[in-house]
Structure 1
Amino acid sequence: MGPVCGRLDQGRIHFQHGPIDLVIFALGESAVIEEAHAKAWARFGQILPELVAELPDLRQAIDPRVQCGMVGPVARRMWSACRPFARDFITPMAAVAGSVSDEIVDFYRTAGVRRAAINNGGDIALHLEAGERMRIAVVPDISDPHAAHDPGKRLHLNIDAANPVRGVATSGWPGRSFSLGIADSVTILALTAAQADAAATAVANAVNVDHPLVVRRPARELQPDSDLGDRLVTVAVPALPETVVHDALDAGEAKARELLDANLIAAAVLVCQGRVRMVGRSAFILQPP
């Protein structure tokens, strides 16, 4: 099935093509926004075929000693975003959603568009003109099916144009992608959505601890063509002792601080079984519901 475009409420646009599912919001001059939508739509239909053409290479672990061999612009974004994390196992697929968002948001970075957000399953690329700000609701527990509709279960982030953050991404074991860790969610703020996506994967993997109650299976058993191969991914996390959760969050926080010190992220929120850790808190403006 080919790409599909539709209109949503509140002036939002929906682009969908295979696994890529974008919700686009833009505010500004109507004619300029419609032109941006048209250009974004024309580009959108090209992205999935380009990625499929390079899929075997995109599923290979990155070797930081070699130069990027990817051809397509989205594939190159993916590789570049993941390369700083290649000390540990990572493939460019860790940044696929954020990279698609970054590719599309570029069409809205034009005079007449005050602000825009490209949301690809929770990995968000932003455009903000000077003086503008964006309020983003983050669901800390992505395993809770009611959290997205309950204001009391959301964090609210205000990102100001003066802040260089233009990407937000969330990862965790209950999410769409596999995780090696036990975090319910890790939300990252970074310069781009691709960088946030890769970092969220890395930090979520680090929120981890060996415990017999945690159920893990080889990724290949769950998805035969997974880029994770036979690595054990988390499939169930029952209630764990508080000390175990504390240890897992300690490990994830250490990773997040390492990335913060390396200027790879601006901030992080780590959530595991109701416990929350924040790193780089000054980059957030948390608002009540």
Structure 2
Amino acid sequence: MHACRKLLPDGRWHFQHGPMDLVLQAEGDRAAVALAHEGAWQRFEGLLQELVDELPGLRAPVGEATSLHGVVAQRMWTACRPYRMDFITPMAAVAGAVAQEILACYVRDGIARAWVNNGGDIALHLAPGASALVGVYSDMAALNAAQLRHGLLLDGQIRIESTMPVRGVATSGWRGRSQSLGIADSATVLARTAAEADAAATIIANAVNVQDERITRMPAWRVRDDSDLGALPVTVDVPELPAAQVRWALQQGLQKAQELQAAGLIWCALLACQGQFVATPASGAWPEGVPAEELAGVSEVGSVFA
């Protein structure tokens, strides 16, 4: 298994190596962009092996100290450390931390803006005066062939300005690639870095929860034998629930998001579950009164989804 890359028709690059699946784009001086792309590829080629070499430590619960050595591994641990009183491993921040590491290759003179989208977890570089639009797609169950052909019908969009303290966007939920303890279709978080957003989204999505015997949960290791969550009960199916239960679950998640916002760990969060949405306040982040149908295809960076 070797790392591979492909130039896409619209000028973006696709890097893939095992579970790492990145889409990258940069704008600015042509020579600077070309150098950044090549630097990003060189950094990407050996990154998976770096993480594999420290996998036992990355799958261990975060404690007071770490023996991890690699810069990305340490970034994962640091992003998760504020949540060590809950059960969390550095793997909760792996997608964001990888995106952040590759994005660093684009933080240079001549690059106006750049982004690395790692399966929906996004790291951003915005030079002064630049901005970017990120689409929000809250429920993967609604994805169909027509949307794949003609563009996603987004639930909203986020405009991130260079003046905002936001360079990372991540989403977690029970339908996503990572396992979740909660029932959120999605918990989208904006934070200082992609690794921080990734870890926080995991914690907030776990908090969107309600006890109902119709919700199917299984020990994490039974769902995926290499899971870092061990015997913790992860959500594998959520039936349609009464609206009141959904509201209650979202309020639990919102309370957790507000705690993290007050602690300075996130800038804002948007939570979705079975067609209902709640969000923490953040000036200018969320659209006002824009129908989802009008947002199809308008995102520049791509969409965040669990």
Q: Same fold (TM over 0.5)?
A: yes
CA shift, 1:259, in A, is 0.2
Q: Which residue of 1 aligns with 2:198?
A: 197
Instruction: Encode CA deviations 1:62-94: one digit per residue, 9 max, x unaligned.
Output: 11xx32321111101100000001111000000
Instruction: Encode CA deviations 1:166-190: one digit per residue, 9 max, x unaligned.
Output: 0000100000110000000000000
1:84-233 pair list within 5 angstroms: 84-146=82-144, 150-233=151-234
Amino acid at match of 2:106: Y
Q: Which one has more relative contact order, counting CA pairs under 8 Å at least 6 apart? A: 2
Q: Which residue of 2 aligns with 1:67?
A: 65
| Cα distance in structure 1, aligned partners of 2:116 and 2:26 | 9
Contact (CA 8 Å) 1:182, 1:234: kept in 2 or not?
Answer: yes
Contact (CA 8 Å) 2:160, 2:166: kept in 1 or not?
Answer: yes
| Cα distance in structure 1, aligned partners of 2:193 and 2:180 | 21
3-state SS in 2 of match to 1:245: helix
3-state SS in 2 of match to 1:281: coil
Amino acid at match of 1:210: Q
Contact (CA 8 Å) 1:143, 1:175: kept in 2 or not?
Answer: no
Instruction: Encode CA deviations 1:117-145: one digit per residue, 9 max, x unaligned.
Output: 10000000000000000011111213322
| Cα distance in structure 2, aligned partners of 1:143 and 1:173 | 11
CA shift, 1:283, in A, is 5.2
Residues paired across the two proteins, number? 287
3-state SS in 2 of match to 1:153: coil
Structure 2 unaligned segments of length 5 or more: list them: 296-306
| Cα distance in structure 1, aligned partners of 2:6 and 2:154 | 29
Instruction: Encode CA deviations 1:106-164: one digit per residue, 9 max, x unaligned.
Output: 00000101000100000000000000000111112133223676554331111000111
Q: Which residue of 2 aligns with 1:40?
A: 40
| Cα distance in structure 1, aligned partners of 2:154 and 2:21 | 24
| Cα distance in structure 2, aligned partners of 1:55 and 1:283 | 39
| Cα distance in structure 1, aligned partners of 2:29 and 2:151 | 32
| Cα distance in structure 2, aligned partners of 1:139 and 1:226 | 26
Contact (CA 8 Å) 1:22, 1:118: kept in 2 or not?
Answer: yes
Contact (CA 8 Å) 2:180, 2:235: kept in 1 or not?
Answer: yes
Instruction: Encode CA deviations 1:217-268: one digit per residue, 9 max, x unaligned.
Output: 1110111121000111000001001111111111100000000000000010
| Cα distance in structure 1, aligned partners of 2:225 and 2:186 | 25
| Cα distance in structure 2, aligned partners of 1:81 and 1:88 | 14
2:255 corresponds to 1:254: yes
| Cα distance in structure 1, aligned partners of 2:159 and 2:129 | 13
3-state SS in 1 of match to 2:240: coil
2:84 corresponds to 1:78: no
Give the TM-score normalised by the residue count of structure 2: 0.91
Q: Which residue of 1 aligns with 2:300?
A: none
| Cα distance in structure 2, aligned partners of 1:44 and 1:71 | 18
Q: Which residue of 2 aligns with 1:282?
A: 283
Considering only aligned residues, what root-mean-square deviation do their CA atoms show, in Å? 1.3
Contact (CA 8 Å) 1:179, 1:201: kept in 2 or not?
Answer: yes
Contact (CA 8 Å) 2:159, 2:284: kept in 1 or not?
Answer: no
Q: Sort the Cα spacing of 1:151 and 1:226 in 2 relative to 1 into closer, same or farther, 3 A.
A: closer
CA shift, 1:281, in A, is 3.0
Contact (CA 8 Å) 2:79, 2:196: kept in 1 or not?
Answer: yes
CA shift, 1:282, in A, is 1.7
Structure 1 unaligned segments of length 5 or more: list them: none
Contact (CA 8 Å) 1:114, 1:129: kept in 2 or not?
Answer: yes
Contact (CA 8 Å) 2:156, 2:286: kept in 1 or not?
Answer: no
3-state SS in 2 of match to 1:11: coil
